[in-house]
A and B are shown apart, each in its own frame.
Chain A
Amino acid sequence: MSGGRKKNILKVIILGDSGVGKTSLMQRYVNGKYSQQYKATIGADFLTKEVTLDDSSSHVNNSNSNNNSNNNFNNDNSRTQHNNNTSNGSKTATLQVWDTAGQERFQSLGVAFYRGADCCVLVYDVTNLKSFENIKVWRDEFLLHANVSSPETFPFVILGNKIDVDEAKKVVSARQAQDLAKGLGDIPLFFTSAKSSINVDIAFEEIARSALQQNQLEDDMFEDDFNDAINIQLDNGPSSCQC
């Protein structure tokens, strides 16, 4: 293994009801592919991807409701898009994206993957009201099991997927979604389409950024602790010998 400071590993969990397109989004983002077929994820699935982030760039704002103006059908070049965005002050990190099973019966292991996450992605289907309503449930579920140190500041990102469908089929309005995102504490919100590759890269860039922020925020927190931690004295002297 090469020396030097290693890249940050950012663990990202994707949650949401069954069939909202979690796997598709991940596949689209990492591999630039989309499959029409539906296959339930069993257990979990993970992919990794290198990301380069512009350090200085500001927080991306939380709505992108115009579903047609932002189409990006450039399927196979998700990487170049990232490179275009990078500047000198950029940071690279490795995203470890965990795609969990939406179906309840496959969730026996979910808890294991929640732990140690740097960012949690909540996905709903714009044509499925129930999946939208469940966003809050998923968020609570995550916070319950993930055991994060400060739930108020833990980064979430909401994705409204399948934005490519006919307007008529959409049952969750952009307005509703924005209200929800605001209500949950100004969570960034993106309207995406894995099928048509709309906003996927932008969304994941935001995901990576908030994950990195989370990771580094606590890095700083930690430094202070270490200084006093090194002063630890032997607890009970020689008597603690275990031999």
Chain B
Amino acid sequence: MRARDINTTIHNASDNDTTIKDPPNSNLNVNNDFLVSTSSIAQPITNTINTIYETSPTATDDILDLDRNNATINSNTSILRMPSISKNLNKLTDDLLSINSNVTALTSNLQEDLLQSIYSDTITHNNSNITTVNTNNSSTSTNRNINDAVIMKMDDVNLNRSDDLFLKLPDLLPHTVTASDNIGNDDVCHFKKNFFILSSAGKPIYSMHGSDEQSINLMGVIHTLVEFFKINKNCDLKTFEMNSKSNTSCKFTFLNKHPIVLMAHSTNPYETELHLLNQLDFLYSYLLSILSKRQLDRLFSKRENFDLRNFLNQENFQNLNSICNMICNEFHPEFLFYSGSLQVYPMKKKIRDKLHTILLKCYVNSTTVTSTDNTTFTPLTSFFYPDHSRDLSISLLYGMITLVERAQLVSVLRPKGHTLHTTDLHLLFQLIKSQYLPKYLNHNGSTNDTGSNDLWVPVCFPKFNSNGFLYCFIKFFTNEPLLGPGCFSLILISAKKDSFQRLKTLGDQIISSMEHLTLNKILSKTITATGNGINGSSSTSQQRKIHRSYSSSNLLSNYGITSNVNYDIPTLNIVLLPPMDNVYHFIYKSKNLVQHISPPINENLMDYYLYLQKQCSTPNNTSLANLASLDTTPNKESFNARNSNGNMVVVTQLDIKRYDVDIMIESYNDIDGYDTTTGKDTKPGQSQSSLQIYGVSWITTDFELYLLGNPYFLNKRKLLQNAKEIIYWCKKNEPRIFIKQGAVF
């Protein structure tokens, strides 16, 4: 029977029992069995499920209409059967995060020294590029150029690699069909990853890929599976997983949030159930953010046959698409962490403090204006606040400044003792980026702020309170001199539907305060720099020395100031990245602050990081104590994880074989056999070469570091040293890269 070589694990929510539960009376086995035969169901899924559940031969003969004519979809008849199901303990808990300091190395056989040298050459070339940019700034170039250079340095270390052979790391996983390849072939299960949302009655709401017809059938199967577990096993089906014949693992994860059911299908072996649940929860959170839990329940409590699909509008589906796309195709380290995480816009502490001060001051001012109403109630105030002359509170819950494009938090204003959940923030940032910003741009044509395009949107923050809506005042602005390039948004959140005017007033105040700040700064700097006022020529050597890089031509010209006035770089919001010699990329997360930093990069390294993370959580990896002894020099900051916990160091290896210069074909070297196969995979006849990368994952109780070394950099000791340097840098720069308190009122 085919099912024998299939590896099935069913995770059950309520059952921690690892033993197989026998039906109480085997004669009435039939009651425990459940069979659903489906026609016109997406074949792969049925195959899948067929293989999971053994079909007893008699039942097959009895029921199966042997009409397996594959010519039309409708003639496919298949039978799913669920006999007594072995329940496996769901081991994937946050416990795995408690494993300390793992060093995972991804290696393989080094083939071409030549390639290595090419590669390391370009890297050093890049680095030197960056440093020269730095030094050159002081002497040459127009302001604009310098700006760009600075941006580049901040933004993307890897941008320069574009001509290189390894301009991007190759895909870690075998390439399966992507959406674009799939136009002719809409078979649902050819996709690497797919998301499905349906109602508890089995009516489809959304599917990421696949034709309507297919997904409707598939939803029926999902519905059946979920209901089966609920009714017969009295538990929620969470995940089942299997290895198909082609050795690709396939995972189906369910999230049952009555009246909504969500399912993720993933072929990524490195993604765990928790990752997928996290992603499903994010999708569910989005649905709640537009509907709220209360309304959702009301819709379905009236009638379970409600067709939510037709209740959602075009925009909602676009957002679902963009969220799914973000999860599947873009690099978002947030989804690496089970407990969520937030990325903060790196900036000088002094500037961030100033922002906090501005937020707080404006907020306090706005409240005092209204509180004086009582004593000095004038017609003028009642004119400004017609509805609220007696309402003293401005009803502000949260205030935030974010960098829109990268969904990074710049500054936060919050009531004492309250923070917003990372999922809520992440969701809001995503909505702002994918929905509100384009809307705003459409209205405006450009990002120039005219002040008339403020948004006022109701959003339900599911983790804050899934039953009600909060109202967000959103204003887009740019402030290059103070914050650096990019479009920023000011978000003011209130529980009161009618507080738009007040929040708008507050918002305008905040933004003009920030502009004042920059104006003052520029003026003082330029005066000290040139000594002779605003219009001084920029050719003096003194000036050259001082203003290394920046101009704010836009702003200055607004105020009638010539554009070639520069000012000093230390006042600018520029945070240099840590030393990244030998390091391709890293993610550092502070567990206390639930924030992470990773250098921006325009390639999706998620699979690499998922792999790294998986290595730490796989307990039966060989722990190489001798590798741990590599870093014998105790770090002065005592980040040395070996000291803090009896941790283990894990080495596994990954072969990334290159069959051709252009086409990378990767084969995943089984983890269990990592000690042997190095070098054996290269067959002499083929022009095979391998890409070798070391990865480090270092997890302690207060931080997590995941790091990818440069390809072909094979010095573990050195890489660990680099990892330590990065950790040290992150600790030292914590005030710059993370937000500890924000402005608290």
- A45 contacts B37, CB within 8 Å? yes
- A116 contacts B201, CB within 8 Å? yes
Residues on the A chain within 8 Å of B63, using CB: 39-42
B456 interface contact, C-beta 8 A: no
Of B36, B210, B295, B495, the contact of A237 (CB 8 Å cutoff)? B495
Residues on the A chain within 8 Å of B419, using CB: 241, 243
- B212 contacts A225, CB within 8 Å? no
List the A residue with the shortest CB-CB distance to B291. Answer: A229
- B37 contacts A41, CB within 8 Å? yes
B469 interface contact, C-beta 8 A: yes
Would A115 and B74 be within 8 Å (CB), given that A218-B303, A230-B458, A242-B464 are in contact?
Answer: no
B213 interface contact, C-beta 8 A: yes
Residues on the A chain within 8 Å of B74, using CB: 30-31, 47
| Chain A residues bordering chain B, tally (CB within 8 A) | 65
Q: Which of A218-237 contact B (CB under 8 A)?
A: 218-219, 221-222, 225-226, 229-237
Residues on the B chain within 8 Å of A108, using CB: 31, 34, 231-232
Residues on the B chain within 8 Å of A243, using CB: 418-421, 463
Residues on the B chain within 8 Å of A231, using CB: 497
Give, as a whole number of angstroms, the nearest-CB distance from A114 to chain B.
9
List the A residue with the shortest CB-CB distance to B228. Answer: A109
- B65 contacts A118, CB within 8 Å? no
Would A109 and B227 be within 8 Å (CB), given that A11-B201, A48-B213, A229-B298 are in contact?
Answer: yes
- B215 contacts A1, CB within 8 Å? yes
- B495 contacts A240, CB within 8 Å? no
Residues on the B chain within 8 Å of A187, using CB: none
CA distance A31 to B207 in the complex (A): 26
Q: Which of B476-518 contact A (CB under 8 A)?
A: 495-497
- A6 contacts B220, CB within 8 Å? no
The listed residue with most A CB atoms (<10 A of its CB), out of B63, B217, B220, B227, is: B220
| Chain B residues bordering chain A, tally (CB within 8 A) | 75
List the A residue with the shortest CB-CB distance to B421. Answer: A243
Interface-side segment among B5-13, B304-312, B375-383: B304-312
Q: Which of A118-168 contact B (CB under 8 A)?
A: 118, 146-149
B613 interface contact, C-beta 8 A: no
A171 interface contact, C-beta 8 A: no
Residues on the A chain within 8 Å of B292, using CB: 232
CA distance A214 to B304 in the complex (A): 12
Residues on the A chain within 8 Å of B202, using CB: 11, 96, 113, 116
- B39 contacts A47, CB within 8 Å? yes
- B295 contacts A229, CB within 8 Å? yes
CA distance A226 to B314 in the complex (A): 18
Residues on the A chain within 8 Å of B444, using CB: none
- B318 contacts A96, CB within 8 Å? no
A44 interface contact, C-beta 8 A: yes
List the B residue with the shortest CB-CB distance to A33. Answer: B67
Mask: chain B, 202-227; 1 = CB below 8 Å from A; 0 = not: 11101111101101110010011001
Residues on the B chain within 8 Å of A31, using CB: 39, 74-75
Would A45 and B38 be within 8 Å (CB), given that A1-B208, A9-B307, A94-B212 are in contact?
Answer: yes
- A234 contacts B421, CB within 8 Å? no
Residues on the B chain within 8 Å of A236, using CB: 465
Residues on the A chain within 8 Å of B303, using CB: 116, 148-149, 218
- B463 contacts A116, CB within 8 Å? no
A72 interface contact, C-beta 8 A: no
- A43 contacts B34, CB within 8 Å? yes
- A232 contacts B468, CB within 8 Å? yes
- B299 contacts A234, CB within 8 Å? no
B89 interface contact, C-beta 8 A: no
Residues on the A chain within 8 Å of B495, using CB: 233-234, 237-238
B302 interface contact, C-beta 8 A: yes
Of A8, A39, A222, the contact of B302 (CB 8 Å cutoff)? A222
List the A residue with the shortest CB-CB distance to B465. Answer: A240
B84 interface contact, C-beta 8 A: no
A215 interface contact, C-beta 8 A: yes
Mask: chain B, 73-86; 1 = CB below 8 Å from A; 0 = not: 01100000000000
Supply 13 A–B pairs (Cβ within 8 Å), ascending by A. Answer: A1-B207, A1-B212, A6-B212, A42-B63, A43-B35, A50-B213, A96-B203, A112-B231, A146-B304, A147-B304, A225-B298, A236-B465, A242-B421
Q: Which residues of B contact A (CB under 8 A)?
A: 30-31, 33-40, 59, 62-63, 65, 67, 74-75, 199-204, 206-210, 212-213, 215-217, 220, 223-224, 227-228, 230-232, 292, 294-295, 298-299, 302-307, 309-310, 314, 317-318, 321, 397, 415, 418-421, 458, 463-465, 467-470, 495-497
Top 7 nearest A-B pairs (CB, nearest first) are A116-B201, A112-B227, A116-B304, A42-B35, A234-B495, A234-B468, A116-B305
Q: Which residues of A contact B (CB under 8 A)?
A: 1-9, 11, 30-31, 33, 35, 39-48, 50, 94, 96, 98, 105-106, 108-109, 111-113, 115-118, 146-149, 214-215, 218-219, 221-222, 225-226, 229-238, 240-243
